[in-house]
Amino acid sequence: MRDGHLGYRPELDGLRAVAVVSVFLCHLGMKPFSGGYVGVDVFFVLSGFLITQIIAADLRAGRFSLANFYERRIRRIVPALVFVCAFSTVAAVAVLLPSELKAYAASLLAAALSVSNVWFSSMTGYFDPAAATQPLLHTWSLGVEEQFYVAFPLLLSFAYRFGRKGVSLFVCGAFVISLAMSIALTPDNNRSAYFLIHTRAWELLLGSVIALGLIPAPARTWQRESASTIGLFAIAVAVICFGEKTPFPGYAALLPCLGAALIIWAGGTTIVARGLSFAPIVFVGLISYSLYLWHWPLIVFAKLLLVQPFTPTQQLTLIAVATALSILTWRFVETPFRRRAGAMSSRKAVFAGGGLSLGALAASAAMLVSVQGMPKRFPEEILSIAAGAQDASARRTDCHFDGTLAGDFDKSCVLGAPVAPATIVYGDSHGAELAVALGALAELRNESVRELTASGCPPALDFTYPGKGECPAYNAKTIEHLVALAPTTIVVAANAVAWTQEYSVDFTRGLEAALRAMSSAGHRVILFGQVPPHPNQLPVPATLARQAMLGTKPETYAFRPDMKALRTLDATLAGIATAAGATYISLLPALCNENECKAAIDGAVLYFDDNHLTVAGEKLIAAKLLAPVLWPGETAAQSIESGKPGTLP
């Protein structure tokens, strides 16, 4: 069995540079690099190739040692990881609020135990808003690699006993099984498919296939040139064309992975390889591990403090700071520990030092959790502002469907006075707090409200998207029930921003069809407008608390969403409502001026995350905008007074 030459190949460091720069620019929010997260997949293929080369060479020479292999991995991975995690922990204590610090501590423990991918798969999706405040989110990929390093050497050394056929069967079989699971699980279980080893192992095993020579290397120059050119093009297409809505990994991950494999397979004599071997590019590849470790915590902490999307100057500053820190870490942390010199010259010292340093991280994490995120760091005023995150509907667990309960009216909730509901709230998660708020307002008038809301299922007929295949049935059943009711008032709420960005035609068509069906049945239908989303997917209560620490009071804090896009969407929704015979109520006049939007009014925090209004916020807005429509006999002053925080039942 032949494997690739073990000599240094500078173009592979160049490929590392392409990978890490793609990831960094993607995370900075540079639109031409929206798919730059595929740089991680390139890293996986490279890691699989290089690790397999080393193991295979040692097995052939009869000198393979697990202890030696793991010593190398500790020297390579642990020092820089511990160093960056230590910095991140200090920054986290300074910047994060108690609940955030507890979540950070849990992720720190996961990173120390090499299970970050498992932890984040249970907590958040890679593109979910919560990910924006996780400084160690990027360590998920280290978890995948480290788990691969635990199992793969053992299995490969066992397969070697059966010769080439045994190795081929093991590597190719594992590759096919993992790829099949990735393809099968990505559409409906994207979080697990994205983070976990069983759906990512094929990417590393693809590198193994090349390293073991299971696919003969191209013999002709044109073959090598074609392979490397196609490979680089494939990576570029993925980086430029993919985005957070791309179902990933699954089939889509084949493009960057095969691209990386083709470049590696083509060897170091091609035009692409020579370009990747350009000294400055190679140097970026040499510091790529440190740069990968540093870039994400810096971005997260900068986002938390700056709030608004980065300006070009801020992006360049972050690139410069991350690069400088990476060079220093590579020179004074990575390189010394890789060399067998000084205090870390012996294997025993490496294992002891690695264990103690990771143990220190784990102990720090446990301490931060045990003290509940150190709330005493902050004055009560700051904690009170942050508590706005808890002002979501208390009835989400029993009144807010997950989309699988297909419009079951028997399981829907009636909120307010113990009388037949005069109003129905129908929508996605943006209707949940609105229903509770309207229920409270209705109770003051001896009326009630029925809640028909489902998370991630906008009120649009025949509309679906990856991961929510149950929504069409839910909406069809709900509309069927509503159409059969005696005429009443139906308030419709949806996070239209989320659905018009990628699925504009299907969503708007489905929304209009739903509104038309209800209004044609004699109902008075009111479409409640779009809630302005907070920048960078940052939760508003935590942002207000941090800004208060910096001297900005909640009532004076204002954020700058894309007002042009919001007004365009507002006009679109108004047009849909009019065409369907419904009434449209815009939220923008109540929440925004020409350029900015409010996050707090009269001491009430308006949002509990980045795009959902709190119950108090919904009550204030509903009292001002909806109450005059629902209860027209009241004066505007009476309606607004009923929505003030002090009047909550």
SS (H, E, C) 429-444: HHHHHHHHHHHHHHHC
Q: How far is CA 135 from CA 41, 90, 107, in A?
A: 20, 12, 9
Q: Which residues of 58-72 are buried (b: 16+ CB within 10 A; e: fewer)?
A: bbeeeebeeeebbbe
The confidence band for 2, taking pLDDT boundaries of 50, 70 and 90, is very low
Length of the chain: 649
What share of the chain has pLDDT > 70, as a percent?
93
Give the C-alpha separation, 114 to 67, whole Å. 18
Q: How far is CA 313 from CA 140, 306, 308, 320, in A?
A: 29, 13, 13, 11
Given a contact cutoff of 8 angstroms between Cβ atoms, the answer to whether 196 and 230 are in contact is no
Q: How far is CA 587 from CA 565, 566, 574, in A?
A: 14, 11, 12
Q: Does the pLDDT of residue 3 top 50, yes or no?
A: no
Q: Does the pLDDT of residue 559 top 60, yes or no?
A: yes
Q: Does the pLDDT of residue 407 top 60, yes or no?
A: no
Judgement on whether residues 394 and 261 belong to the same structural domain of the protein: no
Render 291-312 in DSSP notation, one character per residue: HHHHHHHHHHHHHHHH-SPPPH
CA angle 442, 448, 454 (to 5 degrees): 105
| Count of domains for the chain | 2
In this prediction, residue 56 carries a pLDDT of 95
- Look up residue 429 and give its two tokens: 């998660």
Judgement on whether residues 354 and 316 belong to the same structural domain of the protein: yes
Residue 407 contacts by C-beta under 8 Å, 6 or more apart in sequence?
A: 452, 474, 475, 476, 477, 478, 479, 480, 481
Judgement on whether residues 250 and 121 belong to the same structural domain of the protein: yes
User: 196-246, pLDDT tens digit by residue?
Assistant: 999 999 999 999 999 999 999 998 999 999 999 999 999 999 999 999 889
Judgement on whether residues 534 and 603 belong to the same structural domain of the protein: yes
Residue 4 lies in a domain: no
In this prediction, residue 400 carries a pLDDT of 85
Render 541-554 in DSSP notation, one character per residue: HHHHHHHHHTT--G
Q: Is 476 exposed, middle or buried (0-12, 13-18, 19+ CB in 10 A)?
A: middle
Beta-bridge mates of residue 525:
490
Q: Does the pLDDT of residue 410 top 90, yes or no?
A: no
Q: How many alpha carbons lie under 13 Å from residue 555 in its C-beta half-sphere?
A: 4
CATH code of 466's domain = 3.40.50.1110
Task: Point out the domain boundary residue: 377, 406, 437.
Answer: 377
Judgement on whether residues 407 and 280 belong to the same structural domain of the protein: no
In this structure, the strands spanning 413-416 and 604-605 are unpaired
- Secondary element (H or E) of residue 526: strand 524-528
Of the chain, the end-to-end C-alpha distance in Å amounts to 76
- Secondary element (H or E) of residue 564: helix 563-579
Which of 115-119, 465-469, 635-639 shows the lowest mean pLDDT across its residues? Answer: 635-639
Q: Does the pLDDT of residue 325 top 60, yes or no?
A: yes
Give the C-alpha separation, 300 to 310, whole Å. 11
Judgement on whether residues 554 and 585 belong to the same structural domain of the protein: yes
Ramachandran sector of residue 250 (left: φ over 0; alpha: ψ -120 to 50; beta: rest): left
Task: Average the pLDDT over 105-129 and give the result.
Answer: 89
In this prediction, residue 470 carries a pLDDT of 84
The confidence band for 273, taking pLDDT boundaries of 50, 70 and 90, is very high
Q: Does the pLDDT of residue 641 top 70, yes or no?
A: no
Give the C-alpha separation, 526 to 371, whole Å. 47
The confidence band for 4, taking pLDDT boundaries of 50, 70 and 90, is very low
Ramachandran sector of residue 114 (left: φ over 0; alpha: ψ -120 to 50; beta: rest): left
Residue 230 lies in a domain: yes
Residue 61 lies in a domain: yes
Residue 69 lies in a domain: yes
Judgement on whether residues 510 and 530 belong to the same structural domain of the protein: yes
- Secondary element (H or E) of residue 388: none
Given a contact cutoff of 8 angstroms between Cβ atoms, the answer to whether 479 and 469 are in contact is no
Task: Point out the domain boundary residue: 315, 344, 377.
Answer: 377
- Helical spans, DSSP H, in 242-270: 254-266
Judgement on whether residues 66 and 206 belong to the same structural domain of the protein: yes
The confidence band for 440, taking pLDDT boundaries of 50, 70 and 90, is very high
The confidence band for 36, taking pLDDT boundaries of 50, 70 and 90, is very high
Beta-bridge mates of residue 490:
424, 525
- Secondary element (H or E) of residue 401: strand 400-401
The confidence band for 7, taking pLDDT boundaries of 50, 70 and 90, is confident
Q: Say what the pTM is.
A: 0.88
The confidence band for 113, taking pLDDT boundaries of 50, 70 and 90, is very high
Q: Does the pLDDT of residue 127 top 60, yes or no?
A: yes
Judgement on whether residues 358 and 397 belong to the same structural domain of the protein: no
Residue 382 lies in a domain: no
Give the C-alpha separation, 100 to 155, whole Å. 40
Cα-Cα-Cα-Cα torsion 330, 333, 334, 337, nearest 10 degrees, comes to 150
In this prediction, residue 618 carries a pLDDT of 95
Task: Point out the domain boundary residue: 348, 377, 406.
Answer: 377
Judgement on whether residues 585 and 624 belong to the same structural domain of the protein: yes
For 400, phi then psi, to 5°, come to -105, 110
The confidence band for 308, taking pLDDT boundaries of 50, 70 and 90, is confident
Give the C-alpha separation, 563 to 454, whole Å. 28
Domain range enclosing 486: 389-647
Given a contact cutoff of 8 angstroms between Cβ atoms, the answer to whether 541 and 474 are in contact is no
Give the C-alpha separation, 217 to 568, whole Å. 55
Residue 341 lies in a domain: yes
Residue 3 lies in a domain: no
- Which has the closest alpha carbon to 55: 129, 154, 144, 123? 154
Residue 383 lies in a domain: no
Task: Average the pLDDT over 82-92 and give the result.
Answer: 98
Judgement on whether residues 367 and 452 belong to the same structural domain of the protein: no
The confidence band for 295, taking pLDDT boundaries of 50, 70 and 90, is very high
Instruction: For the chain, give percent helix, strand, coil, nearest 5.
Output: 65, 5, 25
Q: Which residues of 104-132 are buried (b: 16+ CB within 10 A; e: fewer)?
A: bbbbbbbbbbbbbbbbbbebbbbbebbbb
- Secondary element (H or E) of residue 414: strand 413-416
In this structure, the strands spanning 604-605 and 600-601 are antiparallel
What share of the chain has pLDDT > 90, as a percent?
81
Task: Average the pLDDT over 339-352 and give the result.
Answer: 80
Q: Tokens 């280290």 map to which residue?
A: 142
Cα-Cα-Cα-Cα torsion 269, 275, 279, 284, nearest 10 degrees, comes to -110
- Look up residue 418 and give its two tokens: 């113990």
- Secondary element (H or E) of residue 392: none
Q: Does the pLDDT of residue 45 top 50, yes or no?
A: yes
Q: Does the pLDDT of residue 635 top 60, yes or no?
A: no
Q: What is the mean pLDDT of the chain?
A: 92
Our measurement of the distance from residue 87's CA atom to the centroid of its chain's CA atoms, rounded to an integer in Å, reads: 23
Judgement on whether residues 114 and 231 belong to the same structural domain of the protein: yes
Task: Average the pLDDT over 572-587 and give the result.
Answer: 97
In this prediction, residue 378 carries a pLDDT of 94
Q: Tokens 């920048």 map to which residue?
A: 535
In this prediction, residue 395 carries a pLDDT of 84
